[in-house]
Amino acid sequence: MAKLKPKPAHLKPKSEIDKDIKYYRTGLGKHTLLSQVIGKEETKSIWFSFEQMQELWEEILFQTINNKKNVSGTRVYLTSYRAGSRFEKQMGVVFVLTENIGTDESPKHKDFFIEEQSGFENRPDPTNEDGKPLVILGLDHGTPCPPDCSGDQDPEWP
């Protein structure tokens, strides 16, 4: 018989997530207030592909192995899309890697940026399927809802 993988220790159950989302969107009124301030519906969720999450994980491993970083996690910053972008004024998120510069008993999670790490300038630029270079914009390529709330991207929470 195959060994069963334990349940995740740090994930909230759906029942708790449901309460938090409803509180943000209706109870607290924050979503409504932010939508009024920006003059259109504010971001309700942001979808990231498995490929994007895998790329983040692979970068964590790369920094740990090749740059000897004591990668401790990822800090998620709330951001706003700037004027002229497709999602202008809406909330976004950016993932920034952190390293522990403290001790195991007293950790200090300091942000670090991959473009500032040793050897970054020598790493090849990413390319698309045609071999054409892609523009590196950071780990913020999620798809906000709205406008893209298609399919199961944003469950039917109020």
Q: Which residue do the tokens 């920034």 mark? A: 96
At 1, the pLDDT band (50, 70, 90 cuts) reads confident
The pLDDT of residue 69 is above 70: yes
Residue 72's pLDDT band (boundaries 50, 70, 90)?
Answer: very high
Residue 92 pairs in a beta bridge with: 79
Residue 98 has pLDDT above 70, yes or no: yes
Determine, yes or no, domain membership for 35. Answer: no
Q: How far apart are CA 11 and CA 15, in angstroms?
A: 12
84 domain-assigned: yes
pLDDT at site 108 = 95
- pTM exceeds 0.95 for this model: no
Domain total for the chain? Answer: 1
* Residue 101 falls inside a structural domain: yes
Give the mean pLDDT of the chain.
86
* Distance between first and last Cα of the chain: 43
CA 55 from centre of chain: 12
Q: What's the pLDDT at 28?
A: 79
Using DSSP, state whether 122 is helix, strand or coil.
helix
Residue 157: predicted pLDDT: 55
Q: What is the pLDDT of residue 131?
A: 79
Residue 33 falls inside a structural domain? no
Range of the domain at 92: 46-114
